[in-house]
Structure 1
Amino acid sequence: MEDVKDYEIKALKKQIFISNLKAWIIGIILVAEIIFIGSFFSKMGTFGEESLSENKVAVVRYNQEVTEEFTTTIMERMDEIKEDETYKSVLFIMGSPGGSPTASEELSEYLKAFQKEMPITMYVDSIAASGGYYIASSIKPLIANKNAIVGSIGVIMPHYNFGQLAKTVGS
């Protein structure tokens, strides 16, 4: 009787082992298929950076206040794009309410020089006001969403007149 039970236990252990082994093999095959299919789509440009196309359009987004730091980051990214020969043009998406006049001027001049080497299309998706408009208007063609806020270059400079105070206090 003991031999039969031992035999049944061994048979059950063997079946469990085979079942677990089959599950592992099926799991490994599924993972391999997912990796294979993912790499296929990656080569097609659906996922990741690689593409079979040699004529890519780089997309650069300026979607915050114009600052020296972010302007520097954008110019560094544009330099990387210029060095990558697979990029043939740039779609620059502007969405800035403005900010630093110095940074706006710097990026505007940079983009004008960049456009001489590679075509840029400027697209205003939501807002290009003040410094953002200054930057956007430096590139032709300029395309704007029909609901975008575009324009309003204005510099606020406080002016204080101390003439009356000087007369009152004495000069």
Structure 2
Amino acid sequence: MPTTSAAWSPTSREARSSGRTVQWCGSGAHRHKASSKPSAWYSKRGRWVADFQVPEPDPVPALTIGWVTWHIGYWWTATLRHCFQDPAPSERAEVFWPGTAEGAVDRLRGPHRQWRARLGDLTDAEPDSTDRTVTLPWGEGMSLADVAGWVNVELTKNVAEIGLLGILHGARDAPR
């Protein structure tokens, strides 16, 4: 059963070793600019709450590292709650971005540990069952094993987005 270790390691190591700042994360980076044609997602200081439109605008605004790390926190927390806990799933507005890359990694350690522990506690029959995924909006009809695979793919995709955004940020700020 996939456990996310391979996808998770680069994110944790990169943020810790590089001293990423709020500026590196896109100046906070996840609140949608108020305009008719938004060009980026960004945050405001204080309570860092992400904007998220359903349906997504076309074109989708440029992402930032802050927004992507908020997004990981949202979908992972919601997936955990749907699949393993009784309380109502997280609303997007209940999931905050902590303000720094290191804070984001620390914030995501909880869902990472919980996910690994919950998967490790499953019976042999549970991965093939849809009982735990029945309320998951993006996993309707999927077995728990399929959802675990989706978590790995989504986390890997998000880590790749963070890597690319970091390269773009570094290139933008490099002396010419």
Alignment TM-score, normalising by the size of structure 2:
0.24
RCO comparison, higher one (Cα < 8 Å, 6+):
2
TM-score, normalised on structure 1? Answer: 0.24
